[in-house]
Amino acid sequence: MITLDENRQPVQLNGTLQDITERKRIEFKLQESVERYTSLKKYNHDAIISFNMDGNIMNANPVAVKMTGCPVAGMIGTSISRFIGASNLSLILRSNYEMAEKEINAVRHTDGSETEVLATLAPIIINNSNVGFYLIAKDITEQKKLLVAKETAERMNKAKSEFLAMMSHEIRTPMNGVIGMTDLLLDTPGLSGEQKEYIEIIQKSGDSLLAIINDILDFSKIESGKTDLVDDPFDLAEIVTETVQIVKPLARVKKLDVRMCIDDAIPTPVYGDAYRLKQVLTNIIGNAVKFTSEGGVEIEVRVKEQCANNVQLYFKVKDSGIGIPLEKRQQLFEPFYQLDNFMTRKPQGTGLGLAISKKLVELMQGDIWIEESDEPGTTFIFTACFKLNNSEESNRFDQLQKKNRTASLRILIAEDNEVNQLVLSRMIEKKGHVVDHVVDGVEAVEAVKHNPYDIIFMDVHMPRLDGFEATKMIKELKSSEDCPYIIAVTANAVRGDMDKCLKAGMDAYVSKPIKIESIMHALETYYIKCNL
Ligand code: ADP
d(CA 284, CA 318): 10
d(CA 438, CA 447): 8
Atom of ligand 1 nearest to the CA of 322: 25
Residue bearing the CA closest to ligand 1, atom 2: 349
Residue bearing the CA closest to ligand 1, atom 18: 287
Atom of ligand 1 nearest to the CA of 288: 23
Bridge partner list, 213: none
353: Cβ below 6 Å to ligand 1?
yes
pLDDT at 342: 43
282: Cβ below 6 Å to ligand 1?
no
Give the chain's radius of gyration (CA, Å).
38
pLDDT at 531: 66
pLDDT at 497: 67
C-alpha of residue 262 to centroid of ligand 1, in Å = 24
d(CA 96, CA 87): 12
Q: Is the peptide bond before 463 cis (omega within 30 degrees of 0)?
A: no
Q: Which domains does the chain have, with CATH numbers?
A: 41-139 (3.30.450.20), 232-399 (3.30.565.10), 404-531 (3.40.50.2300)
pLDDT at 259: 92
Q: What is 143-171 written as a DSSP string?
A: HHHHHHHHHHHHHHHHHHHHHHHHHHHHH
Atom of ligand 1 nearest to the CA of 355: 6
3-state class percentages of the chain: helix first, strand second, coil last, to nearest 5? 45, 20, 30
pLDDT at 94: 85
pLDDT at 501: 78
pLDDT at 341: 44
**Closest by Cα among 495, 496, 490, 497 to 512:** 490
pLDDT at 396: 53
297: Cβ below 6 Å to ligand 1?
no
C-alpha of residue 234 to centroid of ligand 1, in Å = 28
Residue bearing the CA closest to ligand 1, atom 4: 351
The stretches of 224-303 forming alpha helices (DSSP H) are: 236-253, 274-290
Burial group, residue 75, by CB count within 10 angstroms (0-12, 13-18, 19+): buried
CA angle in degrees (0–180, nearest 5) for 343-345-347: 125
339: Cβ below 6 Å to ligand 1?
yes
Contact 315, 383 (CB under 8 A): yes
DSSP conformation class of 372: -
pLDDT at 395: 53
Cβ atoms within 10 Å, residue 502: 13
Residue 381 CB partners (closer than 8 Å, separation 6+): 314, 315, 316, 317, 368, 369, 370, 371
C-alpha of residue 153 to centroid of ligand 1, in Å = 29
288: Cβ below 6 Å to ligand 1?
yes
Model pTM above 0.75? no
**From first to last of its 532 residues, what are the pLDDT tens digits of the chain?**
888 888 888 888 888 888 888 889 999 998 988 888 888 888 999 999 999 999 999 999 999 999 999 999 999 999 999 999 999 999 998 878 888 889 999 999 999 999 999 999 999 999 999 999 999 999 999 888 898 898 888 888 777 777 776 777 677 778 778 888 888 888 888 899 899 889 988 888 888 788 777 777 777 777 766 677 888 888 999 899 988 988 888 999 999 999 999 998 899 889 999 989 999 999 999 999 999 999 999 999 999 998 888 899 999 999 999 998 888 887 888 877 766 544 444 555 677 889 889 989 999 999 999 998 888 899 999 999 999 875 555 555 555 444 445 678 889 999 988 888 888 888 888 778 888 889 899 999 998 888 888 899 998 888 888 888 899 888 888 887 788 889 888 876 555 666 777 777 888 888 777 777 778 878 877 877 776 6
pLDDT at 327: 82
370: Cβ below 6 Å to ligand 1?
no
* Alpha-carbon distance values, 445 to 131, 412, 458, 478 (Å): 79, 11, 11, 11
pLDDT at 480: 77
* Alpha-carbon distance values, 206 to 209, 213, 362, 434 (Å): 5, 11, 31, 29
